[in-house]
Amino acid sequence: MDKLQKEGYSKFIKKYFEENKALFEALSNIQKPDTMIITCSDSRINPALILDAQPGEIFISRNIGNVVPAYQPSLGSTQAAIEYAVNVLNVKKIVVLGHSNCGACAHIYHEHQEDEPLLDHVDDWLQNINTAKSAAMLEVHADESKNLFELTEKHNIVSSLRRLMEYPYVQERLVRKEIDLIGWWYDIGSGTVELYDFNTRHFSPVL
């Protein structure tokens, strides 16, 4: 066990765990999160830290590019996580949390160089972002002052929200107003979170 792991675990068990024993005892038997967050695998993104959430409060699914793929029965871990969160945990909110300087969204504009490793699995997965890429490029074509990569990150969030609406069990709960779908874009450098407004179709700061 390296220094980071050993010291980190020691601090957790001696301080945080000891101060929250009752919480962990309750969580050892059941979880009842109110919210699911679908976010990026990026090491800089920590939803629990951003939301000041305690263990058991949010159900998190991570993948490269915080993508919600098109609905297909019995395919992929992200779909499985969504199915479990909605049908078993009965979450009331699903948040798609994207972020600034997203390597996945930048990668789709990058041409492979001979001296770079092949990323076949990554390239295949990131085809899910092509719709967002096209929408971003259209916006920049109309206004060259706009940031292509930030637009791609935000359109990727919106595309994922639209795909979520195609999941049958999500549709059912939307019709019954039993679930909310939320899009957030997080700026790593400033800590700002922008919320997607379905009415205006724009992102604006939460605070």
Residues 72 and 23 in one domain: no
The first and second tokens of residue 18, run together, are: 């000891």
Query: Are 127 and 59 within one domain?
Result: yes
Same domain, 137 and 191: yes
- Give the SS3 label for residue 133: helix
Q: Are 115 and 17 within one domain?
A: no
Count structural domains, the chain.
Answer: 2
- Return the structure tokens found at 42: 């990026």
Query: pLDDT (tens digit, 9 = 90+) per residue, 5-45?
Result: 888 899 999 999 999 999 999 999 999 999 999 999 999 99
Q: Which domain holds residue 196?
A: 33-205
Which one, of 144, 149, 150, lies nearest residue 202 by Cα?
A: 150
Residue 112 — very low, low, confident or very high, per pLDDT cuts 50/70/90? Answer: low
Same domain, 138 and 193: yes
Query: Among residues of the chain, what percentage have pLDDT more than 70?
Result: 98
44 and 23: one domain? no
Indicate if 1 and 95 belong to the same structural domain: no
Q: Select the more confidently predicted residue: 2 or 35.
A: 35
Q: Please check whether residues 94 and 189 belong to one and the same domain.
A: yes
Q: What is the average per-residue pLDDT within 111-121?
A: 80
The helix-helix angle for 168-175 and 77-87 (nearest 10°) equals 30
Q: pTM value?
A: 0.93
Task: Provide the pLDDT for residue 116.
Answer: 77
Are residues 108 and 6 part of one domain? no
**Which range is least confidently modeled, 39-48, 90-99, 112-121, 150-159?**
112-121
Q: What is the pLDDT of residue 31?
A: 95
